[in-house]
Amino acid sequence: DYLGVGPCYPSNTKQFKEFATDTFLRDVSEEIRLPVFAIGGITSDNLDRL
């Protein structure tokens, strides 16, 4: 089992008004006992920010 959290960035496939922040991702990963994966609009240009 795992948890996908996002979207983290704008994507060409789906449109969203709000995005998961790096702080939100960190908070989620500290609170649950599942692996957490950032999803949505992640590219080699923004990967280091996560």
Mean pLDDT of 20-47: 94
pTM of the model: 0.76
- φ, ψ at 24 (rounded to 5°): -60, -45
Predicted local distance difference test score (pLDDT) of residue 6: 95
Is residue 16 within 8 Å of 7, Cβ to Cβ? yes
Predicted local distance difference test score (pLDDT) of residue 50: 84
Q: Looking up tokens 């089992």, which residue turns up?
A: 1
Report whether pLDDT(30) > 90: yes
Domain boundaries, the chain: 3-49
For the purposes of burial, counting CB atoms within 10 Å of the CB of 40, is it exposed (0-12), middle (13-18) or buried (19 or more)? middle
Predicted local distance difference test score (pLDDT) of residue 46: 92
Cα dihedral 49, 27, 34, 41 in deg (nearest 10): -30
